[in-house]
Amino acid sequence: MATKIPSPPRVGMVSLGCPKALVDSERILTKLRADGYDMSPDYAGADVVLVNTCGFLDSAKEESLEAIGEAMAENGRVVVTGCMGDEAELIRARFPDVLAITGAQQYEQVVEAVHDAAPPSLSPYVDLVPQPDVKLTPRHYSYVKISEGCNHRCAFCIIPSLRGDLVSRRPDAILREAEKLVAAGTKELLIISQDTSAYGLDLKHATYPLKGGDVVRAHMVDLAEKLGQLRTPDGEQPWVRLHYVYPYPYVDKVIPLMAEGKLTPYLDIPFQHASPKVLKLMKRPANEAKVLERLKTWRAICPDIAVRSSFVVGFPGETEKDFQYLLDWLTEAQLDRVGAFRFEPVEGAAANALPDAVPEEVKEERYQRIMAHCAAISAAKLEAKVGKEIDVIIDLVDEETGGATGRSKADAPEIDGEVHLRDARHLKAGDFARVIVEDADEHDLFGVPVGG
C-alpha cells in the first residue's frame, strides 16, 4: 500500500517595521521551513499567522495592533512577536485569544509557539534536502544584519529597552552569509544594525579566522573592506550599502574604500538634528560644525558619495530659532536624501518628561517646511546629473511598455528615489545597466540605457 505524504502545515506572515525586523522575519520563516512548514501568501490558506510587530512609536504600535486585529478577524490563529511583544498585557487586553506573544529576537519561542499551534509534519520522503533560506526581499538585493541592540541612550528612543545593548555577530559568520547570498543571486547587500559604526565594540574588535588562512577583525572598516571583495558567479561586484552609520571618527576610513570602488558611495547617517541645544536635549553628540567639515572632506575624497539622513522636528524645547538653525545647516550640508519625522512621545522614552512641548500644528508646519526645503536641494542636485551617465540596478521591467524602474548608487530601496527608464525591455530585475540621464524631478531621475 502506498504511503500518503502528509500535507505540511502553512504559515502566514505579516512583517511590520524597519529592515532589521524584516531580517528577523526571514530568519523565523527560514527556521519554520526547515521544520517542514509551507508559507501561505494569504490568511485563508494559513494554519497559523505570525505578526512581527513594531513598537518604536505610538503610531507604529497602533499599526501593529491593527495588523493583529486584521489577522484575528481573517484567520483567528495568531502568534505575535517583535518589538511590541514587551507589551503583552496591552495586546491581550485587546485580543485575548491570540495564541502566543513573544518579544524581539526570541526566535526559539516564536518557533515553539508555531509548533504548538500547528505541529510540524516532517516527512522522510520530501524533507531530506535542507531548504534554502527564506527571503522577503526581491532576489537581487538582501539585508544583512551585523549586530543587534544599541549602547546609546537617546532621549526619544526606546530601542535599547526593546532590543538591549549592542551584541555583534562574528565577522566570519557575516561574511559566510554574504557569500551565500551573492552566490544565490544577490547583487546588492544592505548592511544594517542599530549602530553600524559600533560594530565589534562588544567583541573588543577581536580577529577571527577565514577560510584559506585569511583573518578578519570585528570592526566596521575591516568588515566593509572584506565585503567589497565579494564577486557574483559572473564576476560582477555587488553593491555594498552601509546603513545606520553614526559619524564616529573612524567612519572617515570607509570613504577611500568608496573612492576606490570597493563600497557603494553611500552613507546613511542618523543626524536627527543640527541645533546644539536640541541635540543636547536629545542626548546626542552636538558636533554639527565638525560634521560639515567632514562632509567637505568626504566629498573631496569621493565626489560621488551620497549622504542620506533623517531628522526629528518638533522635539520638546525646539524653538523657531533652533528649527531655522537646522534649515540653515541643511543648506550648507547639501545632503542627497533626507527623511523627516514629527516628534511623537513613545511610552518609556525619557523625552516624554521634557518641558516645552511643541504644539501639533507647529510640528506639522515645520515638517512641511523641512520637506520642501530638502526637496529643493534634492531637485537641484538631481538636475545636475542630467546629461551624465550613471550606473543603475534594475528592480522592475514592464514588458508591455518596455520601461523599467531601477535605482542609482545614491538610492536605497524603498526609502530613496528611483531611476525610470525607457527602451529597457532587454533588461531584467537584478541587472546592472549604464544609463544616460535625460531628465529629473525632486526625487527621481529619468533616462535610457546606453545603446538602448
pLDDT for 8: 83
List, for residues 348-363, the tens digit of each pLDDT value.
Answer: 767 777 878 999 999 9
Question: Is 409 within a domain?
Answer: yes
> What's the average model confidence in pLDDT over 301-320?
95
pLDDT at position 155: 66
**Pairwise CA distance, residues 18 & 23, whole Å:** 9
Q: Provide the pLDDT confidence category of residue 129 given band limits of 50, 70 and 90.
A: very low
Note the pLDDT of residue 422: 95
The CA distance from 375 to 325, in Å, is: 18
Question: Does 331 lie in the same domain as 203?
Answer: yes
The three cell numbers locating residue 30: 527560514
> What per-residue confidence (pLDDT) applies to 224?
96
| Distant-in-sequence, close-in-space partners of 19: CB < 8 Å, separation ≥ 6 | 143, 190, 192, 243
pLDDT band at 86 (very low <50, low <70, confident <90, very high): confident
- Is 127 inside any structural domain? no
* CA 43 to chain centroid: 26
| Residue 426 shares a structural domain with residue 374 | no
Residue type, 44: A
Mean pLDDT of 21-34: 80
Answer with the one of 353, 368, 383 that is the final residue of a domain: 383
Residue 125 above 70 pLDDT? no
Residues 315 and 187 in one domain: yes
Who contacts 63 (Cβ-Cβ below 8 Å, separation ≥6)?
16, 54
Res. 124: pLDDT tops 60: no
Q: How confident is residue 288, by pLDDT bands cut at 50, 70 and 90?
A: low
Q: Of the residues 352, 383, 414, which one is the last residue of a structural domain? A: 383
- Which of residues 348 and 406 earns the better pLDDT score? 406
pLDDT at 122 over 70: no
Mean pLDDT for the chain overall: 87
- 36 compared with 136, residue with greater pLDDT: 36
Q: Which domain holds residue 330?
A: 141-383
Count structural domains, the chain. Answer: 3
Q: How far is CA 303 from CA 221, 248, 378, in A?
A: 20, 20, 16
Q: Which of 11-25, 96-110, 142-156, 420-434 has the highest mean pLDDT?
A: 420-434
Q: Would the pLDDT of 305 be above 90?
A: yes
Unique residue bearing C-alpha cell 545606520: 244
Q: What is the sign of the dihedral through the CA atoms of 408, 412, 413 and 418?
A: negative
pLDDT at 239 over 50: yes
pLDDT(373) > 60: yes
Separation between Cα atoms, residue 242 and residue 235, nearest integer Å:
22
Does 362 reside within a domain? yes
Same domain, 241 and 317: yes
pLDDT at 37: 84
- When pLDDT is averaged across residues 207-213 and rounded to a whole number, the result is 90
Residue 407's CATH number: 2.40.50.140
Percent of the chain with pLDDT over 70: 90
Reported confidence tier of residue 211, pLDDT bands at 50, 70, 90: confident
Please tell me whether residues 379 and 394 are part of one structural domain.
Answer: no
Provide the CATH number for the domain around residue 78.
3.40.50.12160
In terms of domains, do 25 and 163 share one? no
| Residue 179 pLDDT exceeds 80 | yes
Question: What mean pLDDT do residues 113-138 have?
Answer: 61
Question: pLDDT confidence of 29, banded at 50, 70, 90?
Answer: confident
Q: List, as one string, the DSSP characters of 8-50.
A: PPEEEEEE-SSHHHHHHHHHHHHHHHHTTPEE-SSSTT-SEEE
N-to-C CA span, the chain: 61
Model pTM score: 0.77
Last residue of a domain, one of 360, 383, 406: 383
Residue 125 counted as domain residue: no
Same domain, 379 and 403: no
Flag whether 129 is in a domain. Answer: no
pLDDT of residue 123: 46
Q: Tell whether 213 and 152 lie within a shared domain.
A: yes
Residues 377 and 229 reside in one and the same domain = yes
Domain shared by 19 and 153, yes or no: no
131 is a domain residue: no
Higher pLDDT, 29 or 311: 311
Q: Is residue 5 part of a domain?
A: no
**In whole angstroms, what is the distance from residue 202 CA to residue 383 CA?**
44
What confidence tens digit (pLDDT) does each residue in 421-441 have?
999 999 999 999 999 999 999
- Kindly state the average pLDDT of the residues 258-287: 89
- pLDDT of the residue at 137: 67
Same domain (yes/no): 102, 173: no
In a domain, 130, yes or no: no
Name the DSSP class of 115: H
- Is 373 in the same domain as 394? no
Whichever domain contains 374, its CATH number is 3.80.30.20
What letter would DSSP give residue 358?
A: P
pLDDT at 5 over 60: no
Q: Residue 30 has what pLDDT? A: 77
